[in-house]
Chain A
Amino acid sequence: MFYREAGDFKTSYEQDSQTFPIKFDRFRYYAVLAIAFLVVPFVINDYWANAILLPFLIYAIAAIGLNILVGYAGQVSLGTGGFMAVGAYACYKFMTMMPEVSMFVHVLLAGGMTAIVCVVFGLPSLRIKGFYLAVATLAAQFFLVWLFNRVPWFYNYSASGQISAPERDVFGILITGPNAPAWATYMFSLIFLTLCALVARNLTRGTIGRSWMAIRDMDIAAEIIGVNPLKAKLTAFAVSGFFIGISGALFFSVYLGAVEVGEAFGITKSFLVLFMVIIGGLGSIFGSFAGAAFLVLLPVVLKVVGVDVLGWPTDIVAHFQLVIVGALIIVFLIVEPHGLAQLWRVAKEKLRLWPFPH
């Protein structure tokens, strides 16, 4: 009986609606936070930062953003790559236009800019849904990539057509550019992920989250019982865009450093983040973490096991990865639309009853 709810009585509604109502969960949550903030920065090296931790942190932000739109509000989007590009290019423009302003501000502003763009491309959702909305967001994806390729103002007329992050520091510590230390880029991204996750959690457990889910589950009834569909849908696009924009800004500035838009933010990125959300679990913040971790780790693990240990050719391993992801998507969509998060919940339920299964 490690995991228990019994004896954990709530005496007020505040306590009952807190993020981790069960003591054990709360304890584990603080433990994870402590390790992430107090231990990892001291042991991190470049390989861990670049191969695993940075992509995980940054994709987790994007996955939370997309999950709010798809998993909570039930609106389809295939435009994530394009929206991440908005965040990246907005961040780049802010960094070069206002070099004296803190990187924190640039990333937040990039998120705000993406929120606005996302709302504009979300307007069709007031009229259309499902497949047609998917096509509309797909159009946004291609339009945005085209725009950032074609309008030189966005990449400051650089000869290569790429954008590259100038060196910026926070409190004297380099955050961007090739000389930024791994622990600093890690901490910077971790802070944003932590804030985004807290905000997402707060929004989804309260009024606005309920109106998103009401629209998702039954839009007509939702409107008849008092949900303003315009407000619910557009706030979902805005909040989702804010997170995705932050993730795009970080992806460009602290992770890649230099970006060619079609390569970094093409349609494959949209699908990658969507797969994270599906595998992790629609409508779950924890699932967004799980999905991001899974799809970031999968290629690394496959490479270590397949190429380094078993000595298979690299391209076979890469194909193998596609097959695994494809199969998982199908399995999760058919068998468990709530993804890894649901498997985790079921495991916890079992654990709660253990060792007496009935």
Chain B
Amino acid sequence: MKDMQDGYTTADGRKIGGVVMEMKNITLRFGGVVAIKDISFDIREGEIRAIIGPNGAGKSSMLNVISGFYVPQEGEVWFHGEPRPQMRPYEVAQQGIARTFQNIALFEGMSVLDNVMTGRLSYMKSGLFSQALWKGKAEAEEVANREVAEKIIDFLEIQHIRKTPVARLPYGLKKRVELARALAAEPKLLLLDEPMAGMNVEEKEDMSRFILDVNDEFGTTIALIEHDMGVVMDLSDRVVVMDYGKKIGDGTPDEVRNNQAVIDAYLGVSSD
């Protein structure tokens, strides 16, 4: 099924392209704690790639490495076929990588619309003087980017709370607004850290639908961390399994499900 050079076709007939992002032998330590131990995997254009594993396995740390927030002691991050030089997180974002966070990280003092508009910051280049006068480039840019933001807001069905301060929203909606903020960046690669954690079944279904729609309509490549196995099996094309910082499995949901090391890790059996 897989052709490692030029991508592959999924069971439901979607064409998956070449490698967009490749992690090569990443090792990340915090003092004595080894959060990630010599892990390599790739993410292909247009696919939904899941990262799973028990608590503390190092999944969020891996996303933080991709975001440029953590700098691994060893290994390289390759993006679009080139090793990525060390860069600040905001520079990574400008390269088209957007994300959501495990513990919602919205800007609580701002409205939903303003939160979504922050996702467009990389596209807004007008200078201080133009903005101070609110004329010319600044105003045109504001309107053009507002149009994109509104499309995302419509897409995620949050029009009714557009002007609401984020602090007033219930948890499930906050998760959705955070997705909207990430999508507003029109990312090439979207990282989702437990987008469905703490949601009820109905909210999970909505969120799953949105993730599939994003992938389908915008062709966005998605890497997501999720604990709900049912969701992972339904959504993802390929799965990386981590345990105690090590990669213990990598493949399609079916391959991973039948992998003995993975079964052991989830049943609490030592994988040594």
Using a CB–CB cutoff of 8 Å, the interface residues on chain A facing chain B are: 12-14, 17, 199, 202-203, 205-208, 210-211, 213-214, 216-218, 220-229, 235, 239, 283
User: Can you name 8 A-B pairs with beta carbons within 8 Å?
Assistant: A14-B143, A207-B124, A213-B114, A221-B101, A225-B90, A227-B121, A228-B88, A283-B109
Question: Closest CB of chain A to B123's CB: distance in Å?
Answer: 9
* B181 and chain A: residue at smallest CB distance: A225
Q: How far is the CA of A217 from the CA of B126 in the complex (A)?
A: 23
**B residues less than 8 Å from A208 (CB atoms):** 128, 131
Question: Contacts A210-B110, A213-B107 hold; do A17 and B146 have CB atoms under 8 A apart?
Answer: yes
**B residues less than 8 Å from A14 (CB atoms):** 139, 143
Q: Which single member of A17, A216, A226, A283 contacts B90 (CB below 8 Å)?
A: A226
Q: How far is the CA of A216 from the CA of B114 in the complex (A)?
A: 14
Using a CB–CB cutoff of 8 Å, the interface residues on chain B facing chain A are: 67-69, 88-90, 92-94, 98-99, 101, 105-110, 114, 117-119, 121-122, 124, 126, 128, 131-134, 138-139, 141-143, 146-147, 150, 181-182, 185
Q: How far is the CA of A207 from the CA of B110 in the complex (A)?
A: 13
Question: Closest CB of chain B to A43's CB: distance in Å?
Answer: 32
Question: Closest CB of chain B to A347's CB: distance in Å?
Answer: 18
* B124 and chain A: residue at smallest CB distance: A207
Question: Contacts A208-B128, A225-B185 hold; do A214 and B90 have CB atoms under 8 A apart?
Answer: no
Contact yes or no, A217 B132, CB < 8 A: no
Q: How far is the CA of A189 from the CA of B128 in the complex (A)?
A: 24
Contact yes or no, A224 B143, CB < 8 A: no
* A238 and chain B: residue at smallest CB distance: B128
**B residues less than 8 Å from A218 (CB atoms):** 105-108
Contact yes or no, B94 A226, CB < 8 A: yes
* B67 and chain A: residue at smallest CB distance: A224
Contact yes or no, B131 A210, CB < 8 A: no
Q: Which single member of A217, A223, A229 contacts B109 (CB below 8 Å)?
A: A217
**A residues less than 8 Å from B109 (CB atoms):** 213, 216-217, 283
* A19 and chain B: residue at smallest CB distance: B134
Contact yes or no, B118 A211, CB < 8 A: yes
